[in-house]
Structure 1
Amino acid sequence: MASRGAFQLNVILVLALAATAFSTLSPYYYQDVCPEALPTIKRVVEAAVYNERRMGASLLRLHFHDCFVNGCDASLLLDSTSTIDSEKNSRANQNSTRGFEVIDQIKIEVDKICGRPVFSCADILAVAARDSVVALGGSSWMVPLGRRDSTTASRTQADSDLPSPLMDLPALIDNFKRQGLDERDLVALSGGHTLGFAQCFTFRDRIYNETNIDDDFAEERRKTCPRNGGNTTLAPLDPSPARFDTAYFNNLVEEEGLLHSDQALFNGGSTDELVKTYSENARAFSADFAKSMVKMGNIKVLTGEAGQIRLNCRKVIN
């Protein structure tokens, strides 16, 4: 019996070592080199969200839009140069993504507290997304760290890979599948739309022409989004856009999803039951959201000697 127990213990140890070997990221990556980095990021994010509640949604979106284009490598943060066609100018990002100045501030403060640039911009995006959710009432999770920053960006790839607010369910499923994400990830991560706002031009066709929409909801949205003009006028993605809750999913069940791609998740398709589950069970949503955020945060990460640790998140070190 003793030898059998020893064998089982050895198997457990081997499996643990194997898991460590194949895991490229770790929540404790900076624990020795800069233990004050995470509290510093949390402090800057909380101050930014306190100053403008909408900023939480913006910082969460930056991480999402970064990861979906060539992986979680901070390519989104790079400004245009003679050799870089910035992803900031893509259809999904231009005049839409925001919060870059908060990331700049975080980078300055973290490098100061660490004494040198050891914390990557890609990791800052991942941690800032988590801290934004927590600042707005959501549950926390351990963020695996150790990403490095890209030296390139691609507006063309951003135009190709970022999901559109006009996508139907099959297109959304395919879009997420290409990133290694399944239907549960799609629904859980779409729940990030419990925070923030959308511009009129992204939902105009839905409120005037679609039939799977509550009449009163459509009429309310038409008051600030006319058939012509007002393209950048904002509307909340759910009734509590500065609180991380399940109102987004409640809206979908009531046919009050703002974007076509939102309501596509509850429209007689394969994701209906999961939407209903999340609308009724906040704990299930929070748990799945955290798992999917970690999974998304592992998309095509740069580690080891790949990439670099930028001095300025907007510029490549030459």
Structure 2
Amino acid sequence: MSMGVQVWLMLVVLVLGTTCEAQLSSTFYDNTCPTALSTIRTIIRKAVSKERRMAASLIRLHFHDCFVHGCDASILLDNSSDFKSEKTAGPNVNSVRGFNVIDQAKTEVEKKCPGVVSCADILAIAARDASFSVGGPSWTVKLGRRDSVSAYKDIANSDLPSFRDNLQVLISRFDTKGLSPRDMVALSGSHTLGQAQCFTFRDRIYNNNSNNIDVGFATKRQGTCPLASSPSNDEKLAPLDLVTPNSFDNNYFKNLIQKKGLLPSDQVLYNGGSTDNVVLEYSKNPTTFKSDFASAMIKMGDIEPLLGSAGIVRKICSAIN
């Protein structure tokens, strides 16, 4: 064999090795489990129809998964002898929900295609279907993630955004995950849905020295969130979007302009800082917001997925096989 042919063969091997590298793909299950997406969609629609708040919970569940060691379904794991569950981390405990819906979707998919569809992909699909079911955008979900064999409670405590974070801290947290400030504002727009517990916004509504909160709004929220802290008071809920808490729209951004953001981390997006212009844009153009939200969700779903032979496909989402 001539030297020229040997070099050519080596180049072919290198090219094939590069192009065959595992990647996420929207058609990943077309042959191995063609009914996966429709099966999951049915479960999500039923769950959201039964409880509209579940849409927000499922979107948040995917977000809290991806921000901790990538989109690998580690958030779904219960405690084991080898690791502590992320469910017990500060930002998640008694807060993150929707696990039962993901379990239902996994059970139904397993009946049709055992051991094929990962819990991480179910989370990504569920978030998309939840958004669409309450009037939000849909998008093409890239698939092929595999599931983690561990949970990462410490990373959950350190990496997940907090309701107390100021703007620069939020920008830094998202930048670390490859998300821009614009992505951050778009993703924060998911707070057009869902509710927050009293302890997360108590300081904001009772801080009389604050000039970034509408007085009438603060007074109204005080009616459902007592000043005195107690387990029962701390868990009292208020809608993140006072106007249309069960519909995916751009009222969240209009609220911010009126100084009616519920969480401190909401209002910092419009408080004289670098993201004010994005909030203004989204408040005026819901189509742009929905398009950017979909793009940001796709981008978020790309955070450090386990691909190819990495990780596993868990048979149940709460435990290692």
Question: What TM bracket, shorter-length normalisation?
Answer: over 0.9
Structure 1 counterpart of 2:235? 232
What is the distance in 2 between the residues matched to 1:23 and 1:275?
37
Q: Mark the runs of 5 or more structure 1 residues left unpaired by the alignment.
A: 1-16
Structure 1 counterpart of 2:220? 220
CA-atom RMSD in angstroms: 1.4
Structure 2 counterpart of 1:286? 290
Q: Equivalent residue of 1:265, what SS?
A: helix
What is the distance in 1 between the residues matched to 2:21 and 2:159?
27
Structure 2 counterpart of 1:173? 171
Contact kept? 2:22, 2:308, Cα under 8 Å: no
Aligned equivalent of 1:252, options 245, 251, 256:
256
Give the direction of change, closer, same or farther, for the CA distance of 1:274–1:23 in structure 2 (3 Å limit).
farther
Structure 2 counterpart of 1:157? 155
Structure 2 counterpart of 1:295? 299
What is the distance in 1 between the residues matched to 2:252 and 2:169?
21
What is the distance in 2 between the residues matched to 1:21 and 1:294?
22
> Number of paired residues?
300
Deviations 1:133-192 (A, max 9, x none): 000011210000000000011111100000000111001001111111110111000001
What is the distance in 2 between the residues matched to 1:206 and 1:70?
31
- How far did 1:24 drift? 1.5
Matched letter for residue 180 of structure 2: D
Contact kept? 2:56, 2:194, Cα under 8 Å: yes
Q: Equivalent residue of 2:93, what SS?
A: coil
Query: Is it true that 1:37 corresponds to 2:36 in the alignment?
Result: yes
Q: Equivalent residue of 2:92, what SS?
A: coil
Deviant stretches of 4+, over 4 Å: 17-23
Give the direction of change, closer, same or farther, for the CA distance of 1:38–1:20 in structure 2 (3 Å limit).
farther
- How far did 1:20 drift? 6.8
Q: Equivalent residue of 2:253, what SS?
A: helix
Q: Equivalent residue of 1:216, what SS?
A: helix
What is the distance in 1 between the residues matched to 2:254 and 2:72?
34
- How far did 1:113 drift? 2.2
Structure 2 counterpart of 1:91? 90
Structure 2 counterpart of 1:268? 272
Within 5 A, what are the aligned runs for 1:1-318?
24-114=23-113, 116-209=114-207, 210-229=210-229, 230-238=233-241, 239-317=243-321
Deviations 1:15-68 (A, max 9, x none): xx9997677211110011111110010000000001111111111110000000
TM-score by length of 2: 0.91
What is the distance in 2 between the residues matched to 1:20 and 1:280?
43
- How far did 1:241 drift? 1.4
What is the distance in 1 between the residues matched to 2:319 and 2:220?
43
Matched letter for residue 213 of structure 2: I
Q: Equivalent residue of 2:270, what SS?
A: coil
What is the distance in 1 between the residues matched to 2:279 and 2:85?
35
Matched letter for residue 65 of structure 2: D
Matched letter for residue 265 of structure 1: L
What is the distance in 1 between the residues matched to 2:104 and 2:260?
37
Q: Equivalent residue of 2:169, what SS?
A: helix
Deviations 1:99-118 (A, max 9, x none): 1111110000011122x120
Q: Equivalent residue of 2:269, what SS?
A: coil
Give the direction of change, closer, same or farther, for the CA distance of 1:294–1:21 in structure 2 (3 Å limit).
farther
What is the distance in 1 between the residues matched to 2:264 and 2:317?
33
Q: Mark the runs of 5 or more structure 2 residues left unpaired by the alignment.
A: 1-15
What is the distance in 1 between the residues matched to 2:51 and 2:162?
26
Q: Equivalent residue of 2:238, what SS?
A: strand
What is the distance in 2 between the residues matched to 1:197 and 1:191?
13
Contact kept? 2:22, 2:307, Cα under 8 Å: no
What is the distance in 2 between the residues matched to 1:68 and 1:124?
16
